[in-house]
A = this chain, B = another copy of it.
Amino acid sequence: MTQPKNRREQIYEVAGALFSERGYHATSMRDLASQLGMQGGSLYAHISGKEELLVELVNQAAQQFDASLLPLRAADLTPEEKLREAMRRHIEVVAGNLESATVFFHEWKHLSPEAYGKVTAWRDTIDALYRDLIREGIDKGVFKADLDIKMTAYLLLSAVNWTYTWYRPGGPLNAAQIADQFAVMLLEGLRR
C-alpha cells in the first residue's frame, strides 16, 4: 500500500527525477506529463508553471540543508566533532535527497532573479558556517593556527558538495561512513 500522496507532490517528484537527469531546460512539460500519465496542459491544473517546479525543488534542498546544518552552530561539540558532524549531515542531505540536491547544485543558475538571490544568500550562510567552525577550531588550539580559513572552507565544501556527482545509493559506504572517512583524512592528513 503506497502512501496517499497528492498529485502535486507526485509532480515534484517526477520533476526532480527528470530535471536531475536531463537538466531543467532539456525537460519539457510534455515529458513530465507523459511520465505522470497525463497530457501536457493538464499539469497546469496543479501547478502555475515550469519555474515553480524548479523553485520548489531548489527550496526543498535548501531547507533540508538548513534544517540539518544550522542547528550545529549551537551544538556543544569539540571542533573536530563539529567538523565531522557537519560533513556527516551535509553528505546525508545530499545522499538522502539526491535528485533535488542535484537540481539544487546544477540548475540554480536558471532560477529567476529573486529565487536566484535566495540561493546565493544560502550559499553565503553555509560558507560562513564552515568558516566559523574552522575559526573556532583554530581559536581553541585544535586546528593549525596558520590555516587559510577561506581556502580550508572551500576544501571542506568541495568534498561534501561534490558527492552529488558520484554518490549512488547501494554503494559500499553510506553517507555517514563517507563523511567519517573524509573527516579523518582531512584532520589527520594523508601522510604517514
Contact = CB atoms under 8 A, between A and B. Distances in A.
A80 B191 contact: yes
Interface string A44-65: 0000000000000000000000
Contacts of A185: 147, 151-152, 155, 186, 189
A107 B34 CA distance: 25
Contact of A189 (B25, B181, B187): B187
Contacts of A83: 190
Contacts of A192: 141-145
Contact of A143 (B148, B157, B173, B190): B190
A17 interface: no
A162 B142 CA distance: 27
Contact of A159 (B134, B147, B155, B188): B155
11 contacts: A23-B23, A23-B25, A23-B110, A80-B191, A106-B106, A154-B162, A155-B182, A157-B162, A158-B163, A161-B162, A188-B189
A1 interface: no
Interface in A5-29: 22-23, 25-26
A151 B137 contact: no
Contacts of A186: 155, 185-186, 189-190
